[in-house]
Amino acid sequence: MATQPQSTSLIRFLTAAVSEAIQRAAEAGQLGSLTCDQTVQITPVIQIPNDTRYGDYACPTALGMKKLCGMAPAQIADILCKHLDLPHIETSVAGAGFINFRLRDPFLAERLQELLTLGGEFGKTPAPHPERILLEFVSANPTGPLHVGHGRWAAVGSTLANLLRWTGHQVEREFYINDAGNQMQILGKSLAVRVKQLQGEAIPLPDDAYRGTYLIDVAQRLLDQVKAGIRSLPTTLEEYTDFAYGEMLTWQKETLRQLKTEFEQWFSERRLHTPDPETGLSAIQQSLQELQAYGFLYRAKAPRGEEPKPDAEEALYFKTQEFGDDKDRVVQKADGSVTYLAADIAYHRDKVRRGYQRLINILGSDHHGYVGRLNAAVGAFSLDVKLEILIGQFVKLFKTDPETGEKTEVRMSKRTGNFVSLNDLIEDPEIGVGADATRWFLLSNSMDSPINFDLDLAVKQTFDNPVVYVHYSHARCCTLLRRLQEEEKVELSEKVSLTEQARLPYKEPEERTLLLRLLALPDELIAAAEERAPHKIIRYTEAVATDFNKFYDNCRILPLLQEDPVLAQARIQLVQATRQVLFNLLTGILGLSAPESM
């Protein structure tokens, strides 16, 4: 894996300093009954306090050391402060035993220099324990357009992949194509009927058909290609199915590209059903054989612990209870056909065999019951590979009814027949909000919270719309820097300088507040990645924009170019740093555009 740029995580830096202070104090016998061996039990906690009058960062760890040391927390904190080796960082003890840290100007200047030097790489940090991760998300049936729920997982999954990469992990993104099973046959039948209807035959759609008008468009494209001599008219259900499948998958891929969501791998479920030329067995059959050899399968008329029903037939069960599921599950029915779980088992066996250390699946809340089964599917083949299943809630769209003036839920569109597609949300003339607003609002809530998507807000061109506010903030930086260079002939510099008194020349509190916010980028990315919480980056981006605009309104630059060029230069560098951090957030993490003018 390539070496990551070294952006300083201030929380990790201070955590390491406190750990070293604990070790030194214990070795000196100054921490009461705490032995050197016991220091490994202590993991310092570093926080950004709500009230920063006493410090920029705080450590409450001394409070938790009371029993181990047999000492008062304030006394412990005082001893640790004496052992801290932190040049240009002021430490003090407050309250019942908090250690406060105040970053002095030489330290801040070094960090600002780092930000300006690293530029587009600022925020990237090495992972203490880097992992090779497979992140699977969206994974829709190729039977129609993606719906808004798929869009949420696309936004969340792609942003999480960015977060994990920026924090030092090797991540591959995978889309599992559900292209086997009865739904594909129904797709082919539905297209065949639409073609015949366009040819003038008065035949109705079957009851189980896909009823959206999008298949009429697909049927017309097929007939156009036949007319142009590009292909022959299908004569079998398989040919209709294959054409529709190709069209749907291409459509889904294009929609995802619009939403800035790419995948390294597209895994076809059909591969799991295809016999291996050497063994004659499919991946599903091989998986079941392997589970049988491990003793994880049994035949019965009911799962263990349950009485069989009078008409029950013998089926093949997987001992998923061994891995935390609430009951064992059927993998092969009495008639010999396999269940969906059997394909999931084979798929996850394939993931394990590809050598990943961690598997992350993002699923909708309707798949909550799959957690125990998938844990079993991985655990049966490896005790070392870690599986994470992230369950998310659904999205509801709301728009003001022009007749009543009330917010009403938008539930469906003619194009799909029974739901609003992701394409509709991005580009529909009536409800479309664009790719940037779509991503932003789909990322705005924690995954375990539903989203009430306000379509009216998402298209407003005012600062009520957070997308507009953040875009404007980046454009404001670019416009000011452009004016300074082109009109004022200012040469932008990335060299940070202190005054003769070793101070930054700042005059207003907004300057320091903004700088501290910008320097927190590495820690914000680490926390969001570790907590699997992309929505936290939405909040942080809003906070950067807010702090910048307060700075911009209260800390003038142009009048100072002649009056106080040193202060003007320092403020210009804050604008440069803000532009860089917003650009990294918008384009590198969130997958949005970063307009340079508005």
Average pLDDT over residues 172-198: 96
Alpha carbons within 13 angstroms on the beta-carbon side of residue 125 total 24
**What residues does CATH 3.30.1360.70 cover in the chain?**
10-103
Q: What is the pLDDT of residues 493-513, one digit of tens each?
A: 999 999 999 999 999 999 999
Identify the architecture of domain 466-589 in CATH: Orthogonal Bundle (1.10)
- Encode pLDDT of 336-356 as tens digits: 999 999 999 999 999 999 999
Q: Is 367 helix (H, G, I), strand (E, B) or coil?
A: helix
Whether the predicted pLDDT of 207 surpasses 80? yes
User: What is the rounded distance in angstroms from the CA atom of residue 7 to the CA atom of residue 9?
Assistant: 6
For residue 339, the model assigns a pLDDT of 94
- Whether 417 has a pLDDT exceeding 90, the answer reads no
How confident is the model at residue 231, as a pLDDT?
A: 95
pLDDT at 22 exceeding the cut of 70: yes
- What is the reported pTM? 0.95
Model confidence pLDDT, tens digit, residues 216-238: 999 999 999 999 999 999 999 99
Dihedral sign computed on CA atoms, order 178, 181, 186, 188: positive
Distance of CA 576 to the CA centre of its chain: 27
The second-level CATH assignment, the architecture, of 10-103 is 2-Layer Sandwich (3.30)
Over residues 88-99, the mean pLDDT reads 95
Phi-psi region of 169 (alpha: psi -120 to 50; beta: other; left: phi over 0): beta
> What per-residue confidence (pLDDT) applies to 54?
86
- CATH 1.10.730.10 maps onto the chain at 466-589
Question: Is 90 exceeded by the pLDDT of residue 6?
Answer: no
**CB contact set of 125 (below 8 Å; sequence gap of 6+):** 4, 6, 7, 9, 12, 166, 167, 168, 522, 525, 526
Pairing between β-strand 89-94 and β-strand 297-300 as defined by DSSP bridges: unpaired
Task: Tell me the average pLDDT of the chain.
Answer: 95
Q: Which residue's entry shows tokens 């067995």?
A: 281
Q: CA-to-CA distance for 203 and 335, rounded, in angstroms?
A: 35
Q: Distances in Å between the alpha carbon of 262 and those of 1, 155, 158?
A: 21, 11, 7
Label residues 266-282 b or e (16+ Cβ within 10 Å = b).
Answer: ebbbeebbeeeeeeeeb
Question: What pLDDT does residue 1 have?
Answer: 44
